[in-house]
Amino acid sequence: MTTIQQPPNFMELVARQKIGDKASAWEIFKWERIGDGNDFLISLGETRTKTSGVNKGQITWRGLDGRMLPNGKAVVTEAETQSAEAQHESETGNCSVCGNTGQSFASWSVAEGTKYRTCRRCNGTGKAPSGSTEAKA
């Protein structure tokens, strides 16, 4: 399977920070909407790369014995995700949605592959929208 999903990076970032240093390289394997639907319960854990079988090269959250590798959960609110995005934009000057590419994921199909569209947040400039970095010109 092709990797088509744009992961919620900032949600993952916040979740890792909440769990601590041990989670710095952990990956999300599940996220659930909780509360009013804007907050998430994020499950993430240590991964390894499969070295044999039909899924060779893919990552898994299970050890060779089939048990889950070290993992944990964290609640990440919408406000915390937005705050992490804002911090990223002020530190890098890049758009937090498209990461300076100006393009965001639109759709994927077997026939047409991945399609992108102009990023709505930055209007395709790839730069953080005004107000975050260029306010004090």
Q: How far is the CB of 109 from Zn ion (least distance, A)?
A: 23
Among 105, 121, 129, 133, binds Zn ion (CB under 5 A): 121
Among 16, 122, 128, 132, binds Zn ion (CB under 5 A): 122
Amino acid at 46: E
Among 19, 74, 119, 128, binds Zn ion (CB under 5 A): 119
Q: How far is the CB of 90 from Zn ion (least distance, A)?
A: 15
Q: At what angle do helices 78-92 and 9-19 cross, to 10 degrees?
A: 100
Enter the tokens of residue 79: 């406000």
Asked whether 97 and 119 are in contact (CB, 8 A), the reply is: yes
Q: How far apart are CA 97 and CA 94, in angstroms?
A: 9
Q: Does 97 bind Zn ion (CB under 5 A)?
A: yes
Residues contributing to the site for Zn ion (CB under 5 A): 95, 97-98, 119, 121-122
